[in-house]
């Protein structure tokens, strides 16, 4: 008989988690702004991450112009015969997206590619796949030469150019979870902003991965609404839920995603700092000489699993 310490624990998946795991099985798109100076964290990246190889990500820049995005989308339509919506317009997806918060992988790849390479027009879908998940320094010719070398390797693995392109199309058309750490996109992502008392700044919250129940936070200028890195001396702590303090909850000081990677504060690119929280998490912002600030992260509703059971209707509160 195995001892209790050696027993292998088994976590049961409820029905909707099984469905989502199956839907996100294929390769997923990058988390484009997860950490401006570092690869994504294993704990928060979920199925979405940027494969940077030996290169670091480029400098953070404003969202690509609509002309750059339209150029990439137009190129895809003319070369491959498939349509790709601009990263600045809501993607056209199945109703599953509205239930689970999924996105079409193609849209995220195009958005990342136009940010990394604003002056490069893709020749085909394989360019979108590689350039939307890797950053290579060099001229357009040098970048395309690198892509061609990757294509040659995959042709060797799959047997033909057609097989590689077919696999690429399937990957780009896959529904994937929202990447945690990407800065909110105007007009597309939900954003909640609350001003910080006795301060010129506000706290901004926006959803990350629904499947991992992750939320993101940063600081913005209260007047311009532009993101800023830690604008004053503070400490951010996770705290027990005041409505149920006896329940187990993460408690401890929280660092930004960039600082968690060991990046010095002064080296974080302007406006790229972010904190990863969890749905329903209670946080405490402590400032020297000022009253503490408490807030609770919004909790997104999940479809309730249906079980063939009798339900006893006890009161929730008394």
Paired residues of 204 in beta bridges? 193, 218
69 — pLDDT class (breaks 50, 70, 90): very low
pLDDT-based confidence at residue 49 (cuts at 50, 70, 90): very low
Q: What is the pLDDT of residues 269-278, one digit of tens each?
A: 999 999 999 9
Tokens of 31: 């988390």
Lowest mean pLDDT among 78-82, 128-132, 198-202, 212-216: 78-82
Mapping DSSP to helix (H, G, I), strand (E, B) and coil, where does residue 284 land? strand
Average pLDDT over residues 244-251: 72
pLDDT of residue 306 exceeding 70: yes
- Residue range 37-41: mean pLDDT, rounded: 38
Q: What whole-number distance in Å separates Cα of residue 222 and Cα of residue 202?
A: 5
Whether 125 contacts 87, CB under 8 Å: no
| Maximum average pLDDT range among 18-32, 94-108, 270-284 | 270-284
More confident residue, 255 or 75: 255
Give the percent of the chain with pLDDT over 90.
Answer: 48
CA dist., res. 248 & res. 5, Å (int): 22
pLDDT score at 177: 87
Of all residues in the chain, the percent with pLDDT exceeding 70 is 67
Spatial strand order of the sheet with 293-296 comes to 252-254, 235-239, 282-286, 293-296
DSSP string, 55-112: SPPPPP-PPPPHHHHHHHHHHHHHHHS-----TTS-----THHHHH--EEHHHHHHHH
Going by the DSSP 8-state scheme, the letter that residue 304 receives in this structure is P
pLDDT digits 0-9 by tens, 109-126: 998 899 899 999 999 999
């Amino acid at each position: 008989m195995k001892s209790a310490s050696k027993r292998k624990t088994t976590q049961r998946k409820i029905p909707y988690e099984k469905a989502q795991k199956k839907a996100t099985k294929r390769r997923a798109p990058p988390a484009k702004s997860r950490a401006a100076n570092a690869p994504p964290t294993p704990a928060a990246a979920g199925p979405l991450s940027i494969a940077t190889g030996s290169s670091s990500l480029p400098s953070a820049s404003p969202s690509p112009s609509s002309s750059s995005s339209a150029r990439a989308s137009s190129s895809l339509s003319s070369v491959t015969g498939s349509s790709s919506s601009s990263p600045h317009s809501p993607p056209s997806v199945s109703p599953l997206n509205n239930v689970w918060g999924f996105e079409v992988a193609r849209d995220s790849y195009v958005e990342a590619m136009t940010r990394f390479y604003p002056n490069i027009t893709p020749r085909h879908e394989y360019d979108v796949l590689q350039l939307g998940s890797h950053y290579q320094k060099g001229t357009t010719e040098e970048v395309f030469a690198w892509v061609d070398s990757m294509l040659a390797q995959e042709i060797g693995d799959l047997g033909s150019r057609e097989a590689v392109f077919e696999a690429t199309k399937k990957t780009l058309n896959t529904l994937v979870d929202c990447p945690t750490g990407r800065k909110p996109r105007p007009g597309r992502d939900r954003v909640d902003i609350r001003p910080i008392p006795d301060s010129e700044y506000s706290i901004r919250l926006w959803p990350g991965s629904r499947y991992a129940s992750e939320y993101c936070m940063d600081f913005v200028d209260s007047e311009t609404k532009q993101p800023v890195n830690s604008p004053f001396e503070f400490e951010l702590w996770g705290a027990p839920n005041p409505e149920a303090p006896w329940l187990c909850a993460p408690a401890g000081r929280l660092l930004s995603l960039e600082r968690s990677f060991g990046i010095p504060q002064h080296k974080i690119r302007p406006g790229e700092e972010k904190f990863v929280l969890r749905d329903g998490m209670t946080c405490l912002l402590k400032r020297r000489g000022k009253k503490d600030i408490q807030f609770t992260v919004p909790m997104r509703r999940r479809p309730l699993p249906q079980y063939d059971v009798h339900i006893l209707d006890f009161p929730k509160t008394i």
